[in-house]
Amino acid sequence: MRSMTGYAHVSKANAKFQIQVMLRSGNYKYLEVSVRNHPRENIFLEERIKKEIRKQISRGKIEIQIVFKKHVDGHIYIDENAIKKYVSEMRVLAKKYSISEQVTIGDIMSLPHVTSWEEKMGGEEDFIIPAVKEGIVQLIEFKKKEGKIIKREMLANLKKLSANAAAILKNKPKAGAGADTAKEDIDEEVSLLIFYAKKLEDKIQADHDLKGKAIDFLTQEILRELNTASAKTKNAALSALIVENKNHLERIREQAQNIE
Contacts of 249 (CB under 8 A, 6+ apart): 157, 161, 219, 222, 223, 226
Of residues 124 and 179, more confidently modeled: 124
Tell me: pLDDT of 21 over 90.
Answer: yes
Query: How do residues 214-250 score in pLDDT, each as one tens digit?
Result: 788 899 999 999 999 999 888 899 999 999 999 999 9
Angle at 191 between CA 196 and CA 195, to 5 degrees: 20
Half-sphere exposure for 50 (CA within 13 Å, toward CB)? 13
How does the average pLDDT of the chain come out, rounded? 87
- Which of the four pLDDT bands, split at 50, 70 and 90, describes residue 31? very high
Check residue 74 and give its pLDDT. Answer: 59
Please state the domain extents for the chain.
6-71+122-140, 74-119, 145-256
What pLDDT is recorded for position 223?
95
User: What is the number of residues in the chain?
Assistant: 260
CATH topology of domain 6-71+122-140: Ribosomal Protein S5; domain 2 (3.30.230)
Is pLDDT of 258 > 50? yes
> In the CATH scheme, what is the code of domain 145-256?
1.20.120
Mean pLDDT, residues 43-69: 92
* pLDDT bracket for residue 179 (50, 70, 90): very low
pLDDT in tens, 78-121: 888 988 898 888 888 888 888 887 778 888 888 888 887 655 55
- Mean pLDDT (whole number) for 192-215: 83
Q: What does DSSP say about strands 60-70 and 17-26: parallel, antiparallel, or unpaired?
A: antiparallel
Quick one: 44 exposed, middle or buried, by C-beta within 10 A (0-12, 13-18, 19+)? exposed
How many other CB atoms are found less than 10 A from the CB of residue 35?
Answer: 18
pLDDT of residue 15: 83
The answer, yes or no, to whether residue 180 has pLDDT greater than 60, is: no
Backbone angles phi and psi of 27, in degrees to 5: -70, 135
What pLDDT sits at residue 183?
66
